[in-house]
Structure 1
Amino acid sequence: MEKTKSLYHGHRFPAVVISCAVRWYFRFSLSLRDIEELLLERGVAVTYETIRCWCDKFGAGFAHCARAARRKPGSTWHLDEMFVTLRGESYLLRRAVDEHGAELDVLVQKRRDKAAAKRFFRRLLRSNPVPRKIVTDQLRSYPAAKADIPELAHVKHVFVKAAARVNNRAENSHQPTRRREHQMCGFRDARHAQAFLSCFGPIRQHFALPRQQMNAACHRAVLQERFVTWHGWTVTTASQKVI
């Protein structure tokens, strides 16, 4: 009987160190050098470039687990866009969240036209059920693209004025990205921005609980459950000491 290779086969550091570094990077506004210093304080000497490689290699897999573990997406899509500057060029970051604020997907694109909106809709439908309602601003590419997709042709479409900040569910979801973009002094390019944000949203939201809706005891209990779930994904065992 063949043995399955460990996810961390060939790595010098144990799984608990690698998973902890990846969690810190996507959960908190920490640079790679910040994490290098935090690990050194705990007796782990590792370079920031190694931590970067860990995040690039394991981040997508951990984010996929986080998306699979969250509750079923709501029946309403809130779509909104924000502009990001990559190497001096302006790009559009599209984001979709449900009525609970859970991020459904993000996509970095160069254009705002019908073809770009259609690509985003199809990307959403690959990993989410058809919604009951879609809420967007008055960008004309959305209704044009929606009409060309059979699954969405008869879905209710609600428009809000962008200047009125009515679509708060989607607009508020940009705030963590803006904070992280500022901390990182901007994203490098479209490919790296897409890779980072695809991991950043699910992992951050797995631990970012609605603190204002919980008392301290409940918050700690739920957060402990999330830690246990995380260690289950990252193939750590109860006998290993968690940093």
Structure 2
Amino acid sequence: MKTNTTPLNYKGFRFPPEIISHAVWLYFRFSLSFRDVEELLAQRGVVVTYETVRQWCLKFGQTYANELRHRRPRRGDKWHLDEVFLTIRGERQYLWRAVDQDGIVLDILVQSRRNKNAAKRFFRKLLKGLQYVPRVIITDKLKSYGAAKREILPGVEHRQHKRLNNRAENSHQSTRLREKKMRRFKSSKHAQRFLSAFSPISQHFQARRHRMCAGEYRTILHGRFQVWNEAATAKQVV
């Protein structure tokens, strides 16, 4: 069977991909609302409604995020896992998150529980499509991690200590900021959909600027914008 590759489908949109991808970048990169993005575009002479911006983000946000994931280097072999609660419509949900030793978010999963089955589900999601397993995982002292690891990753070293897991805990900060800006998530599906796109896009443009000179930072940022433009015009198999 012959397969063809075609660019991302922008058919039916009256604005070019450059404007659409710019709007999506603004929304996921910065702590902005759809109305904020509408105003920023209006200042540049692009007249769209906030509802149009919302539709762009829904249609293309996850696609761009997936393309960025495919272009990033291989994940690290030391994984930090942590979970934090989200209050959604008065009910407690749990955001499971994994980052590697460099602080890169590997994946997230919103669930209503944090028991053994929930931990196993998160491990399976992390390992899906990978050709390797981590060398070591670091978690807090939640017993669900140990029980799930013994079944899913029996040969992997497991370290459980609260202070060792600061890297994963710190990665929750940006989520808290967006949660506040959005006046909390509307449902667990809403949280999963937004955060699945938000983490790869926002983190793609973050660099440890305090460790770089100005010229080095500009070079890295320029390269990341090039990758973003490639992701926005990527070809897909059909």
Does the pair score TM above 0.5?
yes
1-structure distance, mates of 2:107, 2:96? 8
Equivalent residue runs for 1:40-79 within 5 Å: 40-79=42-81
CA separation of 1:43/1:92 partners in 2, compared to 1, >3 Å: closer, same or farther? same
Q: What secondary structure, in the 3-state scheme, does the structure 2 residue paired with 1:19 have? A: helix
How far has the Cα of 1:127 moved from its partner? 3.9
Give the alignment of 1:1-243 within 5 angstroms.
Answer: 4=6, 7-128=9-130, 129-149=132-152, 152-161=153-162, 165-235=163-233
TM-score, L = length of structure 1 = 0.91
Partner secondary structure for residue 164 of structure 2: coil
Deviations 1:101-157 (A, max 9, x none): 0000000000011111000000000044300001000101111111122xx101000
Q: Distance in 1 between matches of 2:6 and 2:160?
A: 51
Q: Supply the distance in 1 between the matched residues of 2:160 and 2:189 (Cα, whole angstroms).
A: 30
- Judging changes above 3 Å, is the alpha-carbon distance between structure 1 residues 208 and 88 closer, same or farther for their aligned structure 2 residues? same
3-state DSSP of counterpart to 2:108: strand
1:11–1:110 distance in 2 versus 1, CA, 3 Å: same
Q: Which has the higher contact order (CA 8 A, sep 6+)?
A: 2
- Report the counterpart of residue 239 of structure 1 in structure 2: none
Instruction: Give the direction of change, closer, same or farther, for the CA distance of 1:49–1:145 in structure 2 (3 Å limit).
Output: same
Among the aligned pairs, what percent are the same residue?
Answer: 55
Shift of 1:13: 0.8
- Find the aligned partners of 1:214 and 1:116 in 2 and give their Cα distance: 40
**How far apart, CA to CA, are the structure 2 residues paired with 1:96 and 1:127?**
16
Aligned residues: 230
C-alpha distance in 2 between matches for 1:122 and 1:232:
30
Contact 2:8 2:232 in 1 (8 A): no
Which 5+ residue runs of structure 2 have no aligned equivalent? none
Q: Which runs of 4+ in 1 moved over 4 A?
A: 2-6
Gaps of 5+ in 1: 237-243
Greater mean deviation of Cα atoms: 123-132 or 101-110: 123-132
